[in-house]
Amino acid sequence: MSEILDLNEIRQQITVLDQELLTLFAKRRALTLNVAKSKVQQIRPIRDQQREQELLVRLIKHGKTLGLDAHYVTSVFQTIIEDSVLNQQAYLQSLANPNIQVPTVSVAFLGNKGSYSYLASHRYFSRRAEKIIESGCQNFADILQQVESGQVDYGMLPIENTSSGSINEVYDLLQHTNLSIVGEITQPIEHCLLTAVNTSLDKIRTIYAHGQPFAQCSNFLDKQKNIRIEYCDSTADAMAQASELQDETIAVIGSEEGGQLYQLHALEKSIANQRENHSRFILVARKSVEVAEQIPAKTALILATGQKAGALVECLLVLKEKGINMCKLESRPIQGRPWEEMFYIDVEANLKSFALQEAINTITQHTNFIKVLGCYPIEHISPTNVPSDEI
């Protein structure tokens, strides 16, 4: 006869193990902070992908002897390494900008509790501040106005999404602001259909959604018959309305994590057109920041060339000559000047670097207008992979 297994007792053992794992994670984090301190002394870059690869190969081999598959070990340690690199970057940034190191920060974002902007703000500051004073806004212009007037320290704005592209309204607002971009964060967007009460898809008649999630879920929505879309100012607004109405015919497009704050449950998960759906947010402040040299930096520029033939090409050639990688180019019309365009250019370079300073000086000769929107650490940590023959 097989032995009787006591579920509660086994779960108790798992609970103890999980706590031990957390203690080990914290110890590892503390050690990586010491690594960061030594890199400051030795002026070495934060990221060392060769070390990451060696470490992964060793762990995968060892994991196999314990019955753990390579995929599992790789994904766990990629997450640990990402946290470690971001934490080291945040530490170096706090040294480079002692004035930004404060325990409490105030942040304006779109919507209320539960919006993607709310989740991005909390994730961004989780390793940088102890407390966030939240300021939910009804539109992007309000966010900028609150930062400009000094009502809050920071504004979090979505700038692009992997499925619906650039957020033009934010680009247009950036033309007229004196604020600086001081950070970025990429937030996974996992759209679900959320409801306040137990119901089924065939009973839903109205879906509350913000325009962005609506556009990103068009394939799923096209398949639904007899459904009306109610546009809302934000995802959080949509959630609050559905939560208040407690109606089995009403659903909301939003994240499961955000929905939990309104006691909403996921009726359908992963309803976005693209499975890999991410939004990039930028953080704006009144004062620009310095980016430590050991951290990969991005600089955002806007420029107008007028209607001179080839002027934009001349500007881009300057970047090429200086070996500066352009990671984004966007154009927007200039209000009041028909057919003239404002170009938004993101480059992977530190504003302090000699190459970028020289490039900006030369580019200025080809433009009517040029402005640096900000220089900030690149927050996206691309995972190091292990060559398949090494596994």
Ligand X SMILES: C=C(O[C@@H]1C=C(C(=O)O)C=C[C@H]1O)C(=O)O
Q: How far is the CB of 55 from ligand X (least distance, A)?
A: 6
Rounded CA separation 229/221 (Å):
9
Could you tell me whether strands 206-209 and 228-231 are parallel, antiparallel, or unpaired per DSSP bridges?
parallel
Question: Residue 312 in 3-state DSSP?
Answer: helix
- Give the closest residue to 120 by CA, choosing from 147, 84, 148, 159: 159
In whole angstroms, how far apart are CA 346 and each of 101, 169, 327, 341, 362? 26, 18, 6, 16, 17
Give the DSSP H/E element, type plus range, for residue 142. helix 140-148
Interface with ligand X by CB under 6 A: which residues? 32, 35, 47-48, 51-52, 55, 81, 84-85, 88
Select 112 or 384, whichever has its Cβ closest to ligand X.
Answer: 384
Rounded CA separation 137/127 (Å):
24
Q: How far is the CB of 384 from ligand X (least distance, A)?
A: 8
Question: Residue 27 in 3-state DSSP?
Answer: helix
Q: How far is the CB of 381 from ligand X (least distance, A)?
A: 9
Question: Which amino acid appears at position 264 of this protein?
Answer: L
Q: How far is the CB of 386 from ligand X (least distance, A)?
A: 14
Q: How far is the CB of 91 from ligand X (least distance, A)?
A: 11
CB 115 within 8 A of CB 121: no
User: How many residues are given for the chain?
Assistant: 391
What is the residue-wise DSSP string for 179-206? -EEEEEEEEE--EEEEESSS--GGG--E
**Position closest to ligand X via CB:** 84
Rounded CA separation 77/79 (Å):
5
